[in-house]
């Protein structure tokens, strides 16, 4: 039984799929800059969620958007379009910026063993769908026009403040009113932006030449690929008060009902207890990590609703743990014992992870299996590789020891036998410098990958 914490109800709910195929929509990246490990932290968890559903024999359709127009720097209705800002920063066209950082995002997915969503859809390739959806909202009487474009009238949606528990009566007039004094309420938001002659990306529409508001793309594309009602919508906690609140309003305006049934939100990843910020210069991208799967391991040691405080020390500990698991798996694999009943452990894995996607407890169970003396090594191998279908840490992947390192280890053994201790120790140090360590055991010499 899977329980998910639903932001809509502020409680854990038993998951019941609406259709035979579980429909999931995840808010994807705005591709004006590199996606850093703070961004990728969320996608690690959503990927593991999709894998866990498949592990339980659900069929899944996972949809994610790529925002390449309309996301303003304020996340609301003010500021410069982030895509145009990125283009100016690097002296490239908006399309080249979008292509460059979409590629970086896709590379990051691969490095972290995050499967590509079934549908990865770009906002600029779905302008027609966005215009058609806005027309429905307009036909239902949820809009009005101002000098800046077509605006969603939140007063027509009585539950507008409910999702984010907004206190609208105490909310300041806000930047949006300063930009557009014709707005009836400061929290009313633009569906289609007009009268922006200097905006690079613009299209013809019934409301004039312009571009879509940021929020409409997610409603249009989720509904196109998943239907007017679907199961799960994911995103960061920063999306709750504006982006997701406005998505809910748009679905109500178009279809008079809630589109997503379960709303899941991840807490942030911090770096040394500080929020990741370009202005602070503390951004780390996946491509800079020596061992990206050590980061995936680290991310899964936390709960998605609690977030993670990243440090290189914690990453090093995760790499050591990951390497140790792989070495153990290599040994477990050799066992030819009889495989007995391992179902109780599988059931426990489903129970632990099924409690609101608690992958940290799933990882803890892996180590419990390792230490369980009642299990033979073949059973340990079967269980851990089975759990790795969800965790996707490539635990069955043997650590490759370079030929040069093996030769140095052999030379060290020769010196040890000749009692040339200083020479043997110097070779050990050479091996250490190249990222490996020597361990002398009763069974002989073992070469292990060293964590930096």
270 and 308 in contact (C-beta within 8 Å)?
yes
Residue 62 and residue 21 in contact, taking contact as beta carbons nearer than 8 Å: no
Q: What is the dihedral of CA 350, 355, 361, 362, to 10 degrees?
A: 30
How many whole angstroms separate alpha carbon 81 and alpha carbon 94?
10
Q: Are 71 and 122 in contact (CB under 8 A)?
A: no
171 DSSP assignment: S
Number of H helices, E strands in the chain: 14, 16
pLDDT for 177: 47
Task: Return the pLDDT at 131.
Answer: 98
Q: What local confidence, expressed as pLDDT, does residue 176 receive?
A: 46
Using an 8 Å Cβ cutoff, are 212 and 193 in contact? yes
What is the predicted pLDDT for the residue at 170? 62
Closest by CA to 302, choosing from 262, 357, 265, 347, is 357
Which two structure tokens, joined as six digits, stand for 21? 């195929």
One pLDDT digit (tens) per residue for the chain, 452 residues:
899 999 999 999 999 999 999 999 999 999 999 999 999 999 999 999 999 999 999 999 999 999 999 999 998 898 999 999 999 999 999 999 999 999 999 999 999 999 999 999 999 999 999 999 999 999 999 999 999 999 999 999 999 999 999 888 766 544 444 658 899 999 999 999 999 999 999 999 999 999 999 999 999 999 999 999 999 999 999 999 999 999 999 999 999 999 999 999 999 999 988 988 777 788 999 999 999 999 999 999 999 999 999 999 999 999 999 999 999 999 999 999 999 999 999 999 999 999 999 999 999 999 999 999 999 999 999 999 999 999 999 999 877 677 788 888 888 988 888 888 898 899 888 888 887 888 887 667 877 776 54
Q: Which tokens belong to 441?
A: 């055991």
Query: 374: which residues sit within 8 A by CB, 6+ positions away?
Result: none
- CA 315, distance to chain mean position in Å, is 18
Closest CA to 404 of 358, 360, 373, 435: 435
């Amino acid at each position: 039984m899977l329980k998910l914490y639903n932001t809509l109800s502020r409680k854990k709910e038993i998951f019941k799929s609406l259709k035979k195929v579980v429909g999931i929509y995840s808010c994807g990246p705005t591709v004006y800059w590199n996606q850093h490990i703070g961004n990728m932290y969320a996608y690690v968890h959503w990927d593991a969620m999709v894998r866990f559903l498949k592990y339980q024999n659900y069929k899944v359709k996972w949809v994610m958007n790529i925002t390449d127009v309309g996301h303003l720097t304020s996340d609301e209705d003010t500021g410069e379009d982030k895509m145009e800002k990125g283009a100016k920063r690097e002296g490239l066209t908006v399309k080249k910026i979008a292509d460059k950082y979409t590629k970086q995002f896709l590379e990051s997915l691969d490095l972290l063993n995050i499967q590509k969503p079934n549908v990865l859809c770009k906002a600029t390739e779905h302008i027609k769908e966005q215009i058609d959806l806005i027309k429905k909202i307009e036909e239902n009487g949820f809009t009005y026009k101002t000098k800046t474009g077509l605006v969603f009238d939140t007063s027509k949606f009585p539950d507008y403040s409910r999702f984010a528990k907004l206190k609208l009566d105490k909310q300041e007039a806000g930047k949006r009113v300063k930009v557009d004094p014709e707005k009836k309420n400061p929290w009313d938001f633009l569906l289609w932006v007009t009268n922006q002659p200097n905006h690079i990306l613009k299209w013809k529409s019934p409301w004039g030449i312009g571009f879509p508001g940021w929020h409409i793309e997610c409603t249009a594309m989720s509904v196109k690929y998943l239907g007017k009602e679907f199961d799960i919508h994911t995103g960061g906690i920063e999306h709750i008060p504006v982006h997701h609140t406005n998505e809910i309003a748009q679905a109500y305006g178009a279809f008079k009902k809630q589109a997503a049934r379960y709303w899941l939100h991840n807490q942030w990843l911090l770096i040394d207890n500080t929020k990741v910020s370009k202005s602070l210069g503390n951004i780390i991208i996946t491509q800079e990590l020596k061992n990206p799967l050590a980061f995936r391991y680290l991310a899964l040691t936390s709960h998605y609703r609690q977030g993670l405080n990243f440090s290189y020390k914690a990453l090093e500990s995760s790499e050591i743990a990951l390497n140790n698991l792989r070495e153990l798996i290599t040994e477990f694999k050799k066992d030819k014992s009889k495989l007995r009943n391992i179902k109780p452990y599988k059931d426990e894995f489903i129970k632990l992870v099924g409690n609101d996607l608690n992958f940290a407890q799933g990882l803890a169970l892996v180590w419990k299996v390792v230490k369980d003396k009642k299990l033979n090594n073949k059973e340990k191998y079967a269980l851990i590789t089975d759990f790795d279908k969800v965790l996707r840490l490539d635990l069955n992947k043997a650590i490759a020891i370079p030929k040069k390192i093996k030769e140095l280890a052999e030379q060290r053994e020769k010196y040890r036998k000749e009692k040339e201790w200083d020479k043997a120790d110097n070779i050990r140090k050479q091996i250490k410098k190249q990222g490996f360590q020597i361990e002398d055991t009763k069974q002989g010499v073992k070469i292990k990958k060293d964590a930096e």
